[in-house]
Structure formats: structure tokens, C-alpha cells
Amino acid sequence: MGTCGWASPGWRGIVYARSSGSGALRGPEGLAAYARFPLMNTVSLERNFREPYRLTDFQRFAAAVPESFRFAVPLPAFVTDPFLRDRAGRPQSDNPRFLDTAAAADALSLAVRGLGAKCGPVLLEFAPFSRQMTADSEALQRTVGRLEEFMAALQDRNLSGAVLGAELRTPSMLTPRFVAALGRVGIRLVMGLHPMMPGALRQSRAIRHCEDPMDENPDWRFSGPLIVRWSRSPSLAHAVKVSGDAMPASDPATRAVIASLIVRAQKSRMPAWILAGNRAEGSAPGTLRAVLESAVRQGRDCR
């Protein structure tokens, strides 16, 4: 379990000492303190998506955490975003390196070399696609074909055997065709909880479909790792901002779905990666604690 980034000043007095400076939180010193917090044994290196880290950055991060710690690494947007965007995220022009296998393989290799054994899942966060790419069934089929070709080629170059996960920001892409393509190339579907995407229950059904769409057994098992990234919640948009570990947008239904998947992954003897951001419910540490408590309750009920 871990968070989407680690340098949150609102965690002073919870994860960090109350006297911690903002500058220290952002660097390896803050990461080392984060890794000592009982709930945190992973973190998503969010900045790598828009501002890729260098090899030396990855090496410094790896040196700051215990041997058991693992990093989730989003690949840079220059290979997973069809557009070049301005600082506000608005598309400016087509991205010439979108789905560039060589560039993606280089970025993957850089993270693996820098983090070593502490490199956890590497995430392909596919930014929102254009309307032309998803306009109708034929367009969707072409887009899925392009993605499958790219992911298969990247998997061929994934010599380290790092776990690769695909996360969507285009809801119309969450189809049996795309799920089947992931199965063929051996890439995990990430439950990406974000206002652009369907809720946890629908995405959990897609994850179920990834395993064996023909198997109706309610006691189905995972064949690979579970990856959940709860980065934002629509319910937080109108909530009153609070500090500390309070959660102004508490979402127990979503937490219960995630917890049920954790219990199922445990029964399947598969690892589960649960990542949460402050914009999920207001406090990422509070969200992780509540998800874990729900998983413990559900695990006891299953005995």
C-alpha cells in the first residue's frame, strides 16, 4: 500500500514530524521518512509521467528506502499520451512519439536500472484519446489494434520481467476487446479510479473478465497481480478542504470493492498494489487505513 507521490505537507503530524520543512519532504529525506510509516511500503512516482526522472534520481530514491520497499512507476506521457499538452493539460498538437516502442523501452529500462530490485509495477497510463480514435466500432478496433501492437513489442523488450499495467482515461476503451488484448500480451488491467472513468464496481467486473470471461465460478482467482490506483474522486470536487487525516469525501462503497479484491488476491496468492492520492477522499493515509480495515473485516468474514 502506498500513495500517489509522497511530499504532502498536510501529512505533518501523521506521516512526518510537525517541524518538517517542505523542501525536505520533496527529496530522499522525505521519502525515507515516508517509508518508515507502517502503512507505506510502496509509492507511485507520479512526476515521472510529465517530468521524467533521470537515472541518478531513481538511484537516490532506491537508496532512501528499505530493501522490502517497491516503487510503482508511470511511464512518461511522451509515449502514452496522443497529444502534446500545455501546462494546464490542454492538447496543443499531436504527439509524434505516441506509442513509440523504442522510447517506451528506454524509459522502462531507465527505471529498472535505477531502482533495481525495488522497481515494482510499471504503469502505462494512456491519457484521454481523441474522438477520432474512439468514434465508432471500427475506430475502436483500430485503436485497440495499435495499442496491442505497441504493448506486445514493449513486452518483448521487457527483459527484466517487470510487471506492466495499463490504465485508461477513456471510458469507451474499457471493452472486452481491449481486455482480451491485455490478456494476449500479458499486461495487467489497472483499476484506475478517476472521474473520467467508471466506478470501482464496473471496473472490478472488467478485471474479472480479464481472468477468464467464460468461467462463471463466483470463487474465481487472480492469475496475476492486482493493481489499484485511486487518484481522484468526483465526490471530492465539492467537498470542503480539510487538513490532516480527515476525509471530507468518504467513499466506503469504493473502499469495500477494493478491499474485496485485496481479499481475493490474497486467496489467489497474488500480490496486490493499492495506491491512493489525497484527491481520492481528502487524505491518502486515511484512505489506505480505511481500505485495510475493510479488507481485514472481509477477510475475517470469509473464514
Per the prediction, the chain carries an average pLDDT of: 92
Mean pLDDT on 275-279: 94
Quote the cell numbers at residue 65. 528506502
Confidence of residue 214 (pLDDT cuts 50, 70, 90): confident
CB proximity list for 153: less than 8 A, separation 6 or greater: 101
| Other Cβ atoms within 10 Å of 300 Cβ, number | 9
In the DSSP assignment, the letter for residue 126 is E
Task: For 137-150, write each residue's pLDDT tens digit.
Answer: 999 999 999 999 99
The yes-or-no verdict on residue 238 having pLDDT over 70 is: no
264 with 222: CB under 8 angstroms?
Answer: yes
Domain interval for residue 253: 2-301
Neighbours of 36 (CB within 10 A): 11
Asked if residue 73 has pLDDT above 90, the reply is yes
pLDDT of 190: 98
Q: What is the CATH number of the domain that holds 216?
A: 3.20.20.410
Q: What is the pTM of this model?
A: 0.93
| Among candidate residues 285, 269, 267, the one with its CA nearest the CA of residue 277 | 285
Residue 71 and residue 54 in contact, taking contact as beta carbons nearer than 8 Å: no
Taking the C-alpha atoms of residue 221 and residue 261, their distance in angstroms, rounded to an integer, is 10
**What letter would DSSP give residue 40?**
-
Number of domains forming the structure of the chain: 1
CB proximity list for 61: less than 8 A, separation 6 or greater = 28, 31, 45, 53, 71, 114, 115
